[in-house]
């Protein structure tokens, strides 16, 4: 990817993607300025202690800002930033176009290098939501050198999970091993998140297959992988479905961990409690935050957030897990939720134990208390650059990855 060209077209691309996302989520939105809505979840009690490291005071509404950092990281269409295990001062920056860059945080004058280039494996003429979408380093990366990527391929259109080998400096393009691939009926709602849980298993977020309204009914169909979060054991040569997955003995695909999602673009594990939190992109009315449990049904396309979707009134919510929080899709120019992390840093103790998330289009940032279901979300920042993803540093501090060719750090306003 030509970096000078990337800088030259960044603004135009950000505008075009924002417009497309807004169109894809078109419909009646909420009133401008409406606060996100809190709902009480009926999810099972987590196996770990949910109150670990909780803040003693609430965060201050609109009391935070996005500080540009790491000026050497200025690539086009960045969708993720991950600290490279064994190199605490270096990160891998994922770009949707197919290149992962390695950047030094200790020496900003050192130009980033190509860590892995998979452009030749991506679909030609991709849709706006296709490309290289996810990266995860194995928990034992320092020993095994294993890393995993998630990307869109073509002829036919499909999603691919592949394993590579590398070290702290670069991955070997010739080491590619495809572990899983499946057809994608449309160009949107591809999901893309990869993350290893505290159990050492690889979790994968898959959208419902695209178009609009889930025309194929994938979200509620446990015999297909689309519209799900998967849980795989990749410790062997290929992958297996763990025996304690909810459908391992029947009733659905053994790889499924939870279902009823529209497009869980980004999710993460609380590094202290192990709880899994996700942001699921809505159709046209609601964006939602979910605490994801084993075998949970999160409603799509019976519900969209806290509203009935099919049918639009009187839907049967029995057995569905409601979202922890929602906000109107088009509120104040919003369009799509971007899931973040539970804050576990030291710089802002009032945020400890709060799950932080944002909207892609308007850059607003919120947090919701993970230890108190009835507590409403708090808006931390009221606007910002188009936000594609979050990153969490080794110290627990949070960063925002933007389509404005910038990395920004979440900090308290001074």
Task: With a cut of 80, say whether residue 297 has pLDDT above it.
Answer: yes
Q: Which three-class secondary structure state does DSSP give residue 28?
A: coil
SS3 59: coil
Beta strands in 29-128 (DSSP E): 37-38, 64-69, 78-84, 87-95, 99-104, 113-117
- For residue 283, how many other CB atoms are within 10 A of its CB? 23
Cα–Cα nearest to 228, from 240, 249, 215, 246 = 246
The one-character DSSP state at 124 is S
Residue 57 confidence (pLDDT): 87
The whole domain housing 290 covers: 3-412
Domain count, the chain: 1
Give the DSSP H/E element, type plus range, for residue 386: none
Please give the pLDDT value at position 87. 87
pLDDT, tens digit (0-9, with 9 covering 90-100), for 310-363:
999 999 999 999 999 999 999 999 999 999 999 999 999 999 999 999 999 999
Query: What span, in angstroms and rounded, lies between the C-alpha atoms of 220 and 296?
Result: 11
Whether 12 has a pLDDT exceeding 70, the answer reads no
Listed in sequence order, the DSSP H helices in 92-231 are 141-144
Could you give the 3-state DSSP secondary structure of residue 351?
helix
b/e map of 185-194 (b: 16 or more CB within 10 Å)? Answer: ebbbbbbbbb
The number of CA neighbours under 13 Å toward the Cβ of 199 is 15
Q: Express as a percent the part of the chain with pLDDT over 70.
A: 86
pLDDT tens, position by position, 152-168: 999 999 999 999 999 99
Looking up tokens 């010739």 gives 174
Residue 145 has pLDDT above 80, yes or no: yes
- 70, containing H or E segment: none
Q: State mean pLDDT over 274-279.
A: 98
Under 8 Å between Cβ of 237 and 178: no
Q: Which residues pair with 43 in a beta bridge?
A: none
Contacts of 132 (CB under 8 A, 6+ apart): 79, 94, 95, 96, 97, 98, 99, 100, 118, 122, 149, 150, 151, 152
Tell me how far apart the alpha carbons of residues 409 and 397 are, in angstroms, rounded to a whole number. 8
Q: Maximum distance among all alpha carbons in the chain?
A: 60
Using 50, 70 and 90 to split pLDDT, how confident is the model at 414? Answer: confident
Q: Left, alpha or beta for 409 (phi > 0: left; psi -120 to 50: alpha)?
A: beta
User: The tokens 């393009």 sit on which residue?
Assistant: 173
Residues 215-252: pLDDT tens digits?
999 999 999 999 999 999 999 999 999 999 999 999 99
* Cα Rg, the chain, nearest whole Å: 20
Report d(CA 141, CA 166) in Å as an integer.
Answer: 9
> pLDDT by residue (tens digit) across 25-57?
433 333 333 344 444 333 332 333 344 566 668
Question: What pLDDT shows up at residue 54?
Answer: 64
- pLDDT of 31 reads 30
**Is residue 394 scored above 60 in pLDDT?**
yes
Task: Write down the mean pLDDT value for the chain.
Answer: 89
Give the Cα-Cα-Cα angle 263, 203, 44 (nearest 5 degrees). Answer: 80
If you write DSSP's letter for every residue of 226-259 in order, what string do you get?
Answer: TTEEEEEB-SSSS-B--TTSTTTTSSS-TTEEEE
Structure-token pair, residue 132: 């290289």
Rounded distance between C-alpha atoms, residue 76 and residue 311, angstroms: 40
Measure the CA–CA gap between 211 and 392, rounded to whole angstroms.
Answer: 32
> Domain of 358: which CATH number?
2.120.10.30
- The answer, yes or no, to whether residue 300 has pLDDT greater than 60, is yes
pLDDT digits (tens, 9 = 90+) for 64-122: 999 999 999 999 999 999 999 988 799 999 999 999 999 999 998 999 999 999 999 99
pLDDT for 10 = 38
How far, in Å, CA of 366 to CA of 337, rounded?
10
Contacting residues for 301 by C-beta, under 8 A, at least 6 apart: 208, 213, 214, 217, 219, 220, 262, 283, 309, 310
SS3 of 401, please?
A: strand
The span from the CA of 412 to the CA of 84, in Å, is 27
Look at the block and give the residue holding tokens 């609430």. 58
């Amino acid at each position: 990817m030509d970096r000078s060209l990337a800088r030259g077209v960044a603004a135009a691309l950000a505008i075009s993607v924002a417009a497309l996302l807004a169109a894809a989520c078109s419909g009646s939105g909420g009133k401008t300025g409406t606060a996100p809505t809190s709902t009480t979840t009926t999810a099972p009690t987590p196996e770990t202690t949910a109150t670990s490291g909780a803040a003693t005071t609430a965060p201050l509404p609109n009391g935070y800002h996005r500080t540009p950092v790491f000026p050497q990281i200025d690539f086009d269409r960045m969708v993720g930033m991950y600290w490279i295990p064994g190199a605490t001062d270096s990160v891998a920056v994922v770009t949707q176009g197919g290149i992962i860059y390695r950047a030094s945080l200790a020496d900003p004058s050192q130009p980033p290098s190509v860590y892995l280039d998979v452009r030749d494996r991506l679909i030609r003429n991709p849709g706006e939501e296709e490309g290289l979408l996810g990266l995860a380093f194995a928990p034992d990366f320092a020993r095994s050198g294993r890393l995993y990527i998630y990307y869109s391929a073509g002829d036919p259109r499909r999603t691919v999970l592949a394993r590579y080998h590398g070290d702290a400096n670069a991955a070997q393009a010739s080491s590619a091993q495809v572990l899983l691939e499946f057809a994608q009926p449309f160009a949107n709602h591809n999901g893309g998140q990869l993350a290893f849980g505290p159990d050492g298993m690889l979790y994968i977020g898959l959208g419902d297959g695209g178009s609009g309204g889930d025309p194929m009914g994938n979200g509620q169909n446990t015999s297909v992988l689309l519209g799900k979060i998967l849980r795989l054991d990749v410790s062997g040569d290929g992958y297996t479905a763990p025996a304690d997955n909810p459908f391992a003995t029947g009733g659905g695909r053994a790889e499924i961990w939870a279902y009823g999602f529209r497009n869980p673009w980004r999710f993460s594990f609380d590094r202290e409690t192990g709880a899994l939190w996700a942001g699921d992109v809505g159709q046209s009315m609601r964006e939602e935050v979910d605490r994801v449990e084993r075998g949970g049904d999160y409603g799509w396309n019976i519900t969209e957030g806290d509203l009935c979707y099919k049918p639009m009134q009187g839907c049967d919510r029995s057995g569905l897990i409601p979202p922890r929080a929602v906000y109107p899709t088009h509120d104040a120019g919003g369009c799509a939720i971007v899931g973040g992390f539970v804050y576990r840093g030291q710089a802002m103790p009032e945020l400890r134990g709060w799950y932080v998330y944002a909207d892609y289009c308007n850059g607003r940032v919120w947090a919701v208390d993970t230890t108190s279901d009835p507590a409403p979300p708090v808006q931390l920042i009221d606007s910002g650059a188009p936000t594609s993803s979050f990153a969490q540093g080794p110290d627990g501090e949070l960063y925002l990855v933007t389509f404005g060719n910038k990395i920004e750090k979440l900090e308290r306003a001074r």
